[in-house]
Amino acid sequence: MQKRRFVTIAIVVVAAIVVSVCAISASQKSSAGASGSSTAGGMSGGKAGAGGPPGFGGETQSTVKAVRVKAAATETLRPYIDEGGDVEALVNVSVYPDIGGKLADLKVALGDSVAKGETIASVDPSKPGSSYAISAVPSPITGTVTSVIAERGETVTTSSAIAKVGVIDELKIVVNLPERDSAKVAKGMSAEVSLAALPGEKLKATVSRVSPVLDSESRTREVTLEFLAKNDRVAAGMYAESRIYIAPLVGRVVIPEAAVVTRDEENYVFTTADDVAKKTVVKLGTAVDGLVEVVSGLKAGDEVVVEGQDQLSDGKKVEITTGSSK
């Protein structure tokens, strides 16, 4: 009786083991089938394969990445320098007294019109215990008072400017370029000027003078721009944003600046050929408005990845998506 019970228990245990083994085998086949189907079906749209997101062991070298490309092109770049400056009278003369002393009278204010030879101030050169005649300070030109520098009662010398008189019918913009840009600008270059008083307008100008020396303290070079056309709405004293167009770069190979990947001080892009990405080291030149000059590493016509390059590696299979630029 006991022997029969033992045999029955043994049969039940063996049956349970067989059922478990079959279930495990079926589960493994199902998992393998699903994985094979995902790989065979491709990675349309650049999605990662089964097993997890990129960077966690789920992506293989055969995974297809969706990218957009654009062909390197030969173009002319127009580099420019942006710098702010002040609008001033083209002719602006400082007025100095002929003798030092106390400024006894100041007859003009900012914006007043004066004639050549008209007295704009007077200086009393008297000192304690002595008396001297009042000395008149005349305007050296006919124009408008653009600046009042001294105040009544102030002590002045022959090197102290009392005011400035300018011809405001003709205006200029004075900008101070940083040393790094100082050698790029030359007389005759074209420019555009924007003023807060005239939003949305671009006024044409030209470089009329470039100082031959740099200011030793500010490390800047003074550059003068002149308007090409008179505009009565522009006034001396306004602040101007100036864009000076420097020498154009003709026939340069250019690509979108966004295509460049920079890592460990190395610049490179990914080119494509036969649906495979190739890492290509490039030497870059001047960048202008989203385009950058390629000095070496590419030629015109090479297709460069402009979207999706951040997750690429050399030799990765790619799929050029609809709407790519060629």
* Vertex 247: Cα angle to 245 and 251 (nearest 5): 120
Plot region of 28 (φ>0 → left; ψ -120 to 50 → alpha; else → beta) = alpha
189 shares its domain with 265: no
d(CA 119, CA 114): 9
212 shares its domain with 291: no
pLDDT of 1 strictly over 60: no
pLDDT confidence of residue 58: 46
7 confidence band (pLDDT: 50, 70, 90):
very low
d(CA 183, CA 181): 6
118 shares its domain with 218: yes
Is 221 within the bounds of a domain?
yes
d(CA 160, CA 215): 21
Least confident of 15-24, 234-243, 288-297: 15-24
10 confidence band (pLDDT: 50, 70, 90):
low
187 shares its domain with 223: yes
- Kindly state the tokens that stand for 116: 């050549």
155 shares its domain with 85: yes
Residue-number span of the structural domain to which 277 is assigned? 65-77+249-320
Is 43 within the bounds of a domain?
no
Residues 6+ apart with CB under 8 A from 33: none
pLDDT confidence of residue 25: 52
Q: How many domains does the structure of the chain reveal? A: 2
DSSP tag of 313: -
Of 186, 212, 245, which marks where a domain is finished? 245
150 shares its domain with 296: no
d(CA 288, CA 285): 10
pLDDT confidence of residue 122: 96
Chain mean pLDDT for the chain: 84
131 confidence band (pLDDT: 50, 70, 90):
confident
For residue 78, the Cα-to-chain-centroid distance in whole angstroms is 14
Structure confidence by residue, pLDDT tens digits, 182-222: 899 999 999 999 999 999 999 999 999 999 999 999 999 99
Of 245, 279, 307, which marks where a domain is finished? 245
Is 5 within the bounds of a domain?
no
- Count of helices and strands (H, E) across the chain: 1, 22
DSSP-derived pairing of the beta strands 239-245 and 80-95: antiparallel
Is 157 within the bounds of a domain?
yes
Map residue 107 onto helix, strand or coil. coil
Is 7 within the bounds of a domain?
no
Residue 55: exposure state from Cβ atoms within 10 A (0-12, 13-18, ≥19): exposed
Is 207 within the bounds of a domain?
yes
pLDDT of 34 strictly over 90: no
Residues 6+ apart with CB under 8 A from 73: 253, 254, 255, 300
312 confidence band (pLDDT: 50, 70, 90):
confident
- Kindly state the tokens that stand for 54: 């990129």
pLDDT of 314 strictly over 60: yes
pLDDT confidence of residue 4: 53
pLDDT of 9 strictly over 60: no
What is the domain-level CATH number for residue 131? 2.40.30.170
105 shares its domain with 235: yes
DSSP-derived pairing of the beta strands 65-71 and 318-320: parallel
203 shares its domain with 302: no
Is 28 within the bounds of a domain?
no
DSSP tag of 310: G
Of 190, 214, 245, which marks where a domain is finished? 245
207 shares its domain with 219: yes
Contact assessment for residue 87 and residue 237, using Cβ atoms and an 8 Å cutoff:
yes
pLDDT confidence of residue 39: 35
85 shares its domain with 210: yes
119 shares its domain with 221: yes
What is the domain-level CATH number for residue 285? 2.40.420.20
pLDDT confidence of residue 8: 53
192 shares its domain with 112: yes
**How crowded is residue 113: how many other Cβ atoms within 10 Å of its Cβ?**
13
Residues 6+ apart with CB under 8 A from 203: 192, 193, 194, 195, 227, 228, 229, 231, 234
Structure confidence by residue, pLDDT tens digits, 244-301: 999 999 999 999 999 999 988 899 999 998 889 999 999 999 999 999 999 999 999 9
Please report, rounded to a whole number, the percentage of residues in the chain having pLDDT higher than 70. Answer: 79
pLDDT confidence of residue 44: 36
